[in-house]
Homo-oligomer: A and B are copies of this chain.
Amino acid sequence: MQLFYTPDIAPHQQSFVLSEEESKHAIRVLRMGAGQRVQLVDGRGGLYTAAIVDDHPKRAVLEILKAETGRGKRPYYLHIAIAPTKHVERVEWFLEKATEVGIDEVTPIICEHSERKEVKTERLKKVMVAAMKQSLKAYLPRLNEPLGLGALLEHERQGQRFIAHCADGDKEYVSEMIVPGGRYTILIGPEGDFSGAEIEASLRAGFLPITLGHARLRTETAALVGCLEAAIANRRY
């Protein structure tokens, strides 16, 4: 069934009018007509089944037949703060894959060794919306505006906080550290890794050093491994 992302739908609505863009897509492009059924996701766990009652090409009217909330809610909260890669496509695929396997919040962090100092979050958000729809999820991960690492350390104080740096030192496997059912933040550094000063500052701020395995992983691979470690650790919940 055709799925639409409708963040502005509220629970308990009896009917809903598709935006002009979605109306055009449904009625003109997909040639859908009155009586046909569609699905809506609100990005907050709501999945709605609806029927087209007025196939107006600019404001198609839907009748809500069924509403489901908390669809696919995971028992943990994962925030990945990742230094954008030089080639933005690598961040884009991380966001696509992370949305598929499960993530709640992403913050691009600008680090000392970052080759890329800015990202367009609008475009990245489109990638996440497409991945959410493609994987039939009802939750859209939150994508924050880019922050300097210092500001993030200042701001992120909740739950278990980890830094996956590549410098020497004692590190635990994140899968052994994660407490199931919790809230986690994992810092993933740029191609050139975090600087010594950044690692120090992170440890002072209470972030624990973790390893994602012995292999030297690309930034975006490391970030995805973090998502999977959290998912697998929480299965034992």
Which residues from chain A sit less than 8 Å from chain B, CB to CB?
72, 93, 97, 100-102, 134-137, 173, 175, 213-218, 221, 224-225, 228-229, 231-232, 235
User: Which B residues are CB-close (under 8 A) to A213?
Assistant: 101-102, 231, 235
Q: Which of B135, B214, B217, B232 contacts A216 (CB 8 A)?
A: B135
Task: Output the least CB separation between A139 and chain B (Å).
Answer: 11
Task: Output the least CB separation between A124 and chain B (Å).
Answer: 17
Known: A218-B134, A228-B225. A175 touches B235 (CB 8 A): yes
Q: Are A135 and B228 in contact (CB under 8 A)?
A: no
Give Cα A102 to B213, complex, Å: 10
Task: Output the least CB separation between A1 and chain B (Å).
Answer: 14
How many subunits of this chain does the assembly comprise? 2
Q: Are A135 and B101 in contact (CB under 8 A)?
A: no
User: Which B residues are CB-close (under 8 A) to A216?
Assistant: 100, 134-136
Q: Across the interface, name the chain B residue whose C-beta is closest to A101.
A: B215
User: Which B residues are CB-close (under 8 A) to A97?
Assistant: 221, 224
Task: Output the least CB separation between A229 and chain B (Å).
Answer: 7
Q: Which of B72, B137, B218 contacts A100 (CB 8 A)?
A: B218
Q: Are B175 and A215 in contact (CB under 8 A)?
A: no
Task: Output the least CB separation between A74 and chain B (Å).
Answer: 9
User: Which B residues are CB-close (under 8 A) to A221?
Assistant: 97, 100-101
Q: Provide 28 A-B residue pairs closer than 8 Å at the C-beta atoms, listed in order of the A residue.
A: A72-B214, A72-B215, A97-B224, A100-B216, A100-B217, A100-B218, A100-B221, A101-B215, A101-B217, A101-B221, A101-B225, A102-B213, A102-B215, A134-B218, A135-B215, A135-B216, A135-B218, A136-B216, A137-B215, A175-B232, A175-B235, A213-B231, A224-B224, A228-B228, A228-B229, A228-B232, A229-B232, A232-B232
Give Cα A72 to B213, complex, Å: 11
